[in-house]
Amino acid sequence: MKNVLTRFVRGTHMGVMRKDYVSERYMIVTGKEAKESDAKKSLYSPGNESKTKPSVLSLVAKDGMLQRLQDSEDQYVKDWSIRVFESSNPAVTTEQNNTYSDRPHYSEPAYGYHYIVVASPNQKDTFSTIDVDQWSNILMVVQDRLKWLYTKKGVTYVSIYANWGEAAGAATSHPHMNIVTFSTIPPVVDAEVDASHRILNEKGVCPMCQTVAAELDGPRQVLQTKGFVAFCPWAPAYPYEFWICPRKHNTFFSKISQKELTDLALMLRTTLGGLAKTAKDPAFNLVFHLSPERKNSRQIHWHIEVYPVTAPRSGLERGYGIYLSSISPEDAAGRLGPACRKELAGLVGIL
């Protein structure tokens, strides 16, 4: 055990997942520190393709059609609108790593795939300014990559998230999404699955369906479309936090139709635009809470959660998991709603 920990300190091993002494809290040692200047560079812009790993998908719009291309050796696809490639600084890796140890110093290989989805060729774009068609294509690409990853050995869960702004952990100001796989179900999702199935067994109702019914047209609703509703949750962890949820019971994001993807694209563009206007373009994390899609896995009503970063964390929050908010979710929704509806009205006029 002592030798394993010594090798970590010297930085000779990468991609190791450690567990807390007692709880199910995980952390990953990647073995590579991000440089201070990384956040200001635009390695994802056109012309810098050679500075990242080769694309596994470059989406190119040509003659009214979308072409699915990919980089070949020393030849990079040009004029792309969305680009997907393996991360150069991955949270997980498929490289062989046999580092296992038991409590109190529990560790296991951080095995998995980590892909970057560059959301726009334009570094000046933001998630709140990307147009609806582009958002729809982003979601289509993410959905396709999700389906492919679940065919790979050792993939138990696929996480999808975006970090926007340095305060939210973004490595660059160029809008992009992360797709990271795990060989186990992440603790937060696992706890959500357990709680959902306990409520389902006790009350005979999906708790998220119950939540949607309670929040539709209520004081915490931000916006609704035909297929989705956005609302500030009853007990948020962040001021202006909001969730986007399918209005009908739906367990698999991978199976929603192109029409539903377009509806979700409109919802994302509108709510993120409203958030930027209401809270002065805050940093935020956008996280997909998805069902594990392996056979015999328990499912949840999938949804998206957006966590604006508007203030530092306190000791109460970091040390005890009890969150403080300077604004109630009702007031947050009351401010977000009009801004989002104004965004929607403008977009509908364009569409």
Closest CA to 211 of 303, 326, 308: 303
Residue 305 · residue 329 · CB < 8 Å: no
What six digits make up the tokens of 335? 């401010």
- Residue 48: DSSP 8-state: -
Residue 44 · residue 123 · CB < 8 Å: yes
Q: Which residues pair with 32 in a beta bridge?
A: none
User: Tokens 């567990």 — which residue?
Assistant: 19
CA angle 42, 43, 45 (to 5 degrees): 70
- Residue ranges with strand state E in 235-302: 242-246, 283-289
230 membership: H or E segment, kind and range: strand 228-231
Burial status of residue 21 (CB atoms within 10 A of its CB: 0-12, 13-18, 19 or more)? exposed
Length of the chain: 351
Q: Which residues pair with 29 in a beta bridge?
A: 16
SS3 of residue 11 by DSSP: coil
Amino acid (one-letter) located at 228: F
Largest pairwise CA distance in the chain: 65
Question: Sheet harboring 107-109: ordered strands across?
Answer: 26-29, 16-19, 107-109
Residue 15 · residue 96 · CB < 8 Å: no
Query: Catalytic residue among 174, 176, 301, 303, which?
Result: 176
Check if 13 is active-site: no
Dump the DSSP string for 236-281: -SSTT-EEEEESS----GGG--HHHHHHHHHHHHHHHHHHHHHTTS
Amino acid (one-letter) located at 11: G
Cβ neighbors of 191 (< 8 A, separation 6 or more) are none
In this structure, how many other beta carbons lie within 10 angstroms of the beta carbon of residue 121?
17
Q: What distance in Å separates the CA atoms of residue 309 and residue 286, rounded to the nearest whole number?
A: 11
Active-site residue set: 176
